[in-house]
């Protein structure tokens, strides 16, 4: 009978410890995901901005030599990342795909003009820089019909990038405090299940340091295991995002990843140890009768 009771008790303690590790793992994983977002927020911002460009609409019957010369001059400027020449036939094909039908058959001819699709570097994707670029292109009035870009879209993107950065920082702070509270509560519940053992050890003369040590060691191990599992989950997320969002998100900087992964493990250990320390201290201070109520 006593043996069965010991097995049940042992099983409950193991279940409690596993629950603690799972809770720590999930919380650290969420913190890791937030860390990845913060580390890549600038890259995402650059990716979005550098995919917003403008189109240089060319006049009808523009000479190929003049177009090539203009492209070379554009490519040589410090603010332009890339250019792509689009013939009127290619423009018509693109529009057909968007509309889902051949509009040239309906109107009898292709009204579109050839153009040069221009992508800017992120630092120059703003209204002021585009206005200067537009005025520079005005001197090619014998070749350029107009410069087309969505002014409102560029302003909205720049505003949203700043707002998202602020929101990420605020959310990161809130998530950190919530994570601390969740891990702390999990550790406290784990210690609560052993409160009678703590009091028994104290009654037989064990010092506070001696009683705390196994709980602190247990918290350290739980933090390390939780951190390692959380990092493995992050590696899976990283592989997936790099595959699905190639060019937008990159985790090529190994040093940053090492700092992030190490930080997650260290954070798990620190929170677990501090939570275990205060949880054990609570039951070291209270009287025996109070163990049934607290």
Q: What is the pLDDT of residues 224-279, one digit of tens each?
A: 998 899 999 888 888 887 776 665 555 666 777 888 889 889 988 888 888 888 88
State residue 256 phi and psi, 5-degree precision: -65, -40
Mean pLDDT confidence for 205-222: 84
53-149 CATH fold: Alpha-Beta Plaits (3.30.70)
Q: Which residues pair with 1 in a beta bridge?
A: none
- Chain-wide mean pLDDT for the chain? 77
Mean pLDDT confidence for 48-67: 81
Asked if 149 and 56 count as a contact pair (C-beta separation under 8 A), the reply is: no
Cβ count within 10 A of residue 34:
18
Whether 290 shows a pLDDT value over 70: the answer reads no
Whether 144 shows a pLDDT value over 50: the answer reads yes
Mean pLDDT confidence for 282-294: 64
Rounded distance between C-alpha atoms, residue 166 and residue 164, angstroms: 5
Model pLDDT, residue 219: 82
Model pLDDT, residue 52: 76
| 260 against 111, higher pLDDT | 260
Model pLDDT, residue 146: 83
Model pLDDT, residue 2: 45
Among 160, 159, 133, residue whose Cα is nearest residue 147: 133
Asked if 52 and 157 count as a contact pair (C-beta separation under 8 A), the reply is: yes
The pTM assigned to this predicted structure is 0.58
| 29 against 14, higher pLDDT | 29
| 123 against 152, higher pLDDT | 123
Virtual torsion, Cα 12, 13, 18, 22, nearest 10 deg: 90
Where are the domain boundaries for CATH 3.30.70.3040 in the chain? Answer: 53-149
Mean pLDDT confidence for 186-214: 78
Whether 162 shows a pLDDT value over 50: the answer reads yes
Confidence class for position 163, pLDDT limits 50, 70, 90: confident
Confidence class for position 6, pLDDT limits 50, 70, 90: very low
Cα separation values, 276 from 81, 213, 256, Å: 54, 10, 30
Asked if 234 and 224 count as a contact pair (C-beta separation under 8 A), the reply is: no
């Amino acid at each position: 009978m006593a043996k069965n009771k010991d097995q049940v008790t042992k099983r409950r303690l193991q279940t409690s410890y596993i629950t603690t590790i799972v809770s720590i793992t999930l919380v650290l994983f969420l913190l890791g995901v937030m860390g990845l977002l913060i580390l890549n927020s600038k890259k995402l911002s650059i990716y979005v901005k550098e995919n917003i460009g403008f189109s240089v609409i060319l006049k009808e019957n523009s000479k190929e030599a003049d177009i090539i010369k203009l492209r070379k001059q554009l490519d040589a400027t410090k603010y332009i990342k890339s250019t792509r020449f689009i013939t009127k036939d290619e423009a018509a094909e693109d529009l057909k795909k968007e509309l889902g039908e051949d509009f040239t058959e309906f109107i009898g001819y292709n009204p579109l003009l050839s153009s040069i699709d221009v992508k800017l570097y992120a630092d120059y994707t703003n209204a002021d820089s585009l206005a200067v670029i537009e005025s520079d292109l005005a001197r090619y009035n014998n070749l350029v019909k107009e410069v087309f870009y969505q002014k409102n879209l560029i302003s909205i993107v720049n505003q949203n990038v700043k707002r998202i950065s602020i929101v990420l920082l605020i959310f990161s702070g809130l998530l950190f405090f919530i994570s601390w509270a969740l891990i702390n509560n999990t550790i406290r519940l784990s210690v609560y299940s052993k409160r009678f053992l703590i009091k028994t050890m104290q009654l037989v003369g064990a010092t506070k340091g001696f009683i705390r040590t196994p709980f602190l060691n247990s918290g350290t191990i739980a933090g390390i295991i939780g951190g390692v599992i959380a990092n493995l989950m992050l590696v899976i997320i990283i592989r997936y995002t790099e595959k699905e969002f190639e060019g937008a998100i990159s985790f090529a900087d190994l040093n940053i990843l090492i700092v992030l992964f190490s930080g997650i493990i260290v954070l798990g250990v620190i929170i677990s140890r501090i939570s275990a320390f205060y949880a054990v201290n609570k039951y070291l201070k209270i009287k025996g009768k109070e163990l049934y109520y607290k």
